[in-house]
Structure 1
Amino acid sequence: MNFLPIECLRQIFKNFQTNFSSLHSCLLINRIWFSIVVEILWNEPTIPLNDIRIMKILLLLLDNNEKFQLVAFNNVIPSGPKPLLDYTNYITTINNKLDEGIVEWLKINELEISNEIMKLIKRLLTNNLLKKCKLKVLQVAIDELPGGWEEVLEVTSLNNLDLSKYDIGPNGLIKITKTLKNLKILSLEENNIEVEGVRELIKALQLKSLNISMNEISDKGGSGKVLNGAQWSCEWSRWSSEWSQWILLFSSPFA
């Protein structure tokens, strides 16, 4: 298959993207195959960030300044050379498995699992990933990110974002519509959102799924009556025939 165009090879290998053993066997064939396969392996949405082998690579890829911040905690930084390839460039998903990976790494190195070391490692790894990755999925506690909510708005490649239980502020939804134009899946569960913001969000983005369950949705400025405990988990496939009803709901005064 060496004479096939790279795009053809990429499409062929994508058919095996969940067959990890087959993909790993292709890594050593030649440089072209390696470059294609390693990208598929590392941008797979289900990449196990809780695997200690992945954790070792992520820690080795920290720069010297970042590693220095971990010197006080013995054995946190793994021994070994820095990988020749920066695998973090291919990662497209950051989720809570990162927390699990940090815990497993601390356990295997017989280190105390404290909030201090957990938060420091997560901050350094997340910051490194946000700088290098072209993220599509972000499912972590926003308040634990180095730059918080404002940093999320800079990740314009996102198409799946979980903002559950995080107060994005009175203009949060408007900011999303202006910056995160690639979003397809958005969770705003247990948030403080306004009717005007929801209406603009629906009109501006071509979302496939929007979760606004467990919300008290107020009118603009927070005045007037509130839909207490409104629980809506909305799939866009169910909205097509009810679109006008939803627009009417979000446009109507609260009873």
Structure 2
Amino acid sequence: MSKRNRQDFENHQFINSEEIFTNNNNNMEEKAKFVKLEKEIFSYDVCFEIISMLDDSWFILNNCTLISKQFFNVIRERSKLVIKFKKKFTEKRVELFMKSQFMNSIVNVKFSSWLLDSFERAEFISEMKQLTSLNIYNNRIGDVGAKYINEMKQLTSLNIGGNRIGIKGAKLISEMKQLTSLHTYNNRIGDEGAKYISEMKQLTSLDIGGNQIGDEGAKLISGMKRLTSLHIYNNRIGDEGAKLISGMKQLTSLNIGVNEIGDEGAKLISGMKRLTSLQIYNNRIGDEGAKYISEMKQLTSLNIGGNELVMKELN
């Protein structure tokens, strides 16, 4: 692995899927030269413990799988893989992935932006039966793609941001009652789509930014009592919406930037005593509103840039 690729893995904890599946596809048995042992030296449990001490999945797949058939089987049956897809999909790549013996070992997948022409081409994702986390942001999958994802009942974390899923897609995603974390930013769902998302009462983390849901959408989202983290930026929310959001006393993290919140809204937000992280940038907050925010002594992270503070000082 090049120094650059290794650094990428260390930073992101992802492995390059092209290398994995090229080396571990249906030609694996032809390429691999397994060590022939008269008997197994270690039990399967001991082999798994050895493998578990390694945190480099690339190394495991491209080296440990070649030690013996026993190690190969242990990795295939017990290892949990985290993969990042970086290259444009072709029919050949999809074919290789579908034939891989490690499909059921994958628990976490992330797609880089703009890899898919349509979700049908990557329908193989639904074959990853152990997948619990999927990040497919900015891939233009639309409501058709949302339909495929809707069928993945084992997912607990989903980032489907920037995919133009619309109201229909929001409805489909809202049926995934096993999800606890959802990112559905920049999807044109409006307040009608927000209504469907608000029915996901099990969510603890939600990013619904950039969907123009307005105060009506904020009202719907404010009823999600299990949320501890909410990103609701760029949604045309004013002081009335801020009042509704401020009633979510369980929140510890809130991004309500790029809205239309003034001093009154800032006062209301300042009453959220459990918040430790607040992003309230690019609103209409002046010195008075800043004073209220400054009283939130429990905050460990704050972004209040892009408001009217400097302008008021100059005037």
Q: TM-score, normalised by structure 2?
A: 0.42
Higher RCO, Cα 8 Å, sep 6+: 1
Larger Rg: 2
